Chain A
């Protein structure tokens, strides 16, 4: 299994997708963190002012916005085998295909850790500099550290979800579009309609919000419960993918 994980890392780091995603994650995190800081305390924005614990936790959680990038990274990692038809040499090398899926889950989860560290640190540095300039740089309180940790973990778990989703759907463009539409449209609707909002906390978006949200919203699970819920979704997709999709004929 170690060699299969290393093979997946070789695949990941010998094309430029990871770098593009890392840069995008850093830019996205820095941008959102700066935006939060800029409008902190602005009465129209509803954001708490610089220096409060609420502001700091909100601003430091912005790395979680890059979950959209780690899920895409995972989707690409799983679906590129079909898109570029390398599923053939991959499954010739490893005829027990379930092992390939497991190796991808492990490889992308581990590769997402430094990715998450970079994104969270970029967010932190942005807030320290900008909020510091506005009067109060956040310190590393326990609450601040926790929100940074859960944001980073969310990035890692979303990479796992991406691999599982990609293994299940096989089609790269289809899987990315499905993920974006679901996360940005479907969940938004479910969250806002009273009849369905009770189910929201059990959905992937609800799990993410449970992990990272700091402002008041709908009823949610605890942060750690949300994390396990998300991980469960990722592993469920991977399991379904292994039995329904990955085992299908490679023609």
Chain B
């Protein structure tokens, strides 16, 4: 784009490389953590399988970052364990070669990207050339000698990813890695993560507060709300359950008559003049019902996808705001 060095350099996706260690399963069991009086995570457990991209989803403040930091031994849980093939992070004989993590972008602004990577090559006993290899891998080769403080947000994310890749780890943990990436960077990241999991058999755990951001990337989802597990399963199961769960907008000069017909079927809806907002039915089903009732339609379209609606329902009331639809919501911080 503008200059010779920008966020959108061509990136080489590594081909024949595989992780230094074999496939590793991540198991989280009964994690609980409070910060003072605030309960951040409660009895959280899930499994992350090799060869798949697992999405770790939940609204902001749901405890995702705290959980990931507990998994990585940076935060000490009150109770519970997180293990990599049975071994806690702190006991891993060679953590850098087993797990790579992208948390916040952390580096000294006065140090070049290449030297930042060299520090961790030295500390982990990796050959110093790994710094240059991972710079190429994430598309920062030309910016390696620049002070990291001059990097754009997207370049910082790439440097953080490069740091995680240094040890060629079997497990990759990424906390909101799309933050700061431009659309092209996000597209690249999706392909990169899928490649690492599907082609190379690595274990990839990626967090996001937006399902839409990762729904094309992930194979499995772990959804948390207010520090508790609300759903764990495959993306295809989530999709199957989401069919028809979205909201559909209908405009009709006979909206009232269509509303009666749908209500008779037990459908939830809201009527506003000539507009209907219908929940829990597909556009196909509503179209067929309207046709059967002989109601003229002027507009029939899906407003939110079923997946988004399911995600919202699963997490509503579990974050900082109580939603009226969630009858099962537990007030945040409520002790059990």
Contact = CB atoms under 8 A, between A and B. Distances in A.
Interface of A: 3-4, 6-7, 10-11, 14-16, 80, 84-96, 247, 249-251
Given A6-B122, A16-B110, A91-B73, 20 more contacts: A3-B123, A4-B123, A10-B115, A11-B108, A14-B115, A14-B119, A80-B108, A84-B106, A84-B107, A84-B109, A85-B104, A88-B74, A91-B74, A92-B72, A92-B74, A93-B95, A93-B123, A95-B89, A96-B90, A251-B69
A86 to B, nearest CB: 5
Given A84-B107, A94-B123, A250 B115 contact: no
Given A95-B90, A249-B74, A249-B75, A88 B110 contact: no
A88 B100 CA distance: 12
A10 B106 contact: no
A14 B112 contact: yes
Q: Chain A CB within 10 Å — which of B74, B107, B109 has the most?
A: B74
25 contacts: A7-B122, A7-B123, A10-B115, A10-B119, A10-B122, A11-B111, A14-B111, A14-B115, A15-B111, A84-B108, A86-B107, A86-B108, A87-B106, A89-B107, A90-B123, A92-B95, A92-B99, A92-B101, A93-B95, A93-B124, A96-B90, A250-B69, A251-B69, A251-B74, A251-B75
Contacts of B72: 92
Contact of B106 (A15, A88, A93, A95): A88
Interface string B91-131: 01001100101011011111110011011101111000000
Interface residues of B, number: 34
B125 A250 contact: no
Contacts of B92: 95
A249 B76 contact: yes
Contacts of A15: 108, 110-111
Contacts of A250: 69, 74-75
Contacts of A16: 110
* Residue picked from A7, A87, A89, A90, most chain B C-beta under 10 Å: A89
Given A11-B119, A15-B111, A249-B76, A88 B90 contact: no
A90 B72 CA distance: 12
Nearest to A95: B90
B163 interface: yes
A86 B119 CA distance: 11
Contacts of A96: 90
Contacts of A11: 108, 111, 119
A251 B38 CA distance: 15
Contacts of B107: 84, 86, 89
Given A14-B115, A80-B108, A88-B103, A95 B120 contact: no
A13 to B, nearest CB: 9
Top 4 nearest A-B pairs by Cβ distance?
A7-B123, A85-B106, A14-B115, A7-B122
A189 B106 CA distance: 41
Given A7-B120, A15-B108, A85-B106, A95 B125 contact: no
A249 B35 CA distance: 10
A111 to B, nearest CB: 15
Q: Most chain-A Cβ atoms within 10 A of its Cβ — which of B72, B101, B111? A: B111
B110 A89 contact: no
A123 B74 CA distance: 46
A19 to B, nearest CB: 11
A150 B99 CA distance: 46
A86 B106 contact: yes
B96 A92 contact: yes
Q: Which of B69, B123, B124 is the most central at the interface, judged by chain A CB atoms within 10 Å of its CB?
A: B123
Contact of A89 (B90, B118, B120, B122): B120
Nearest to B89: A95
B132 to A, nearest CB: 15
B143 to A, nearest CB: 16
Nearest to A11: B119
Contacts of B109: 84
A123 B205 CA distance: 58
Contacts of A93: 95-96, 120, 123-124
Interface in B112-170: 112, 115-116, 118-120, 122-125, 163
A249 to B, nearest CB: 4
Nearest to A103: B123
Nearest to B173: A92
B70 to A, nearest CB: 9
B291 to A, nearest CB: 57
Contacts of B35: 251
B107 to A, nearest CB: 6
Nearest to B96: A93
Contacts of B89: 95
A168 to B, nearest CB: 19
Contacts of B76: 247, 249
Contacts of B111: 11, 14-15
Nearest to B75: A249
B124 A89 contact: no
A222 B89 CA distance: 48
A93 B97 CA distance: 9
A89 B122 CA distance: 13
Interface string B66-88: 10010011111000000000000
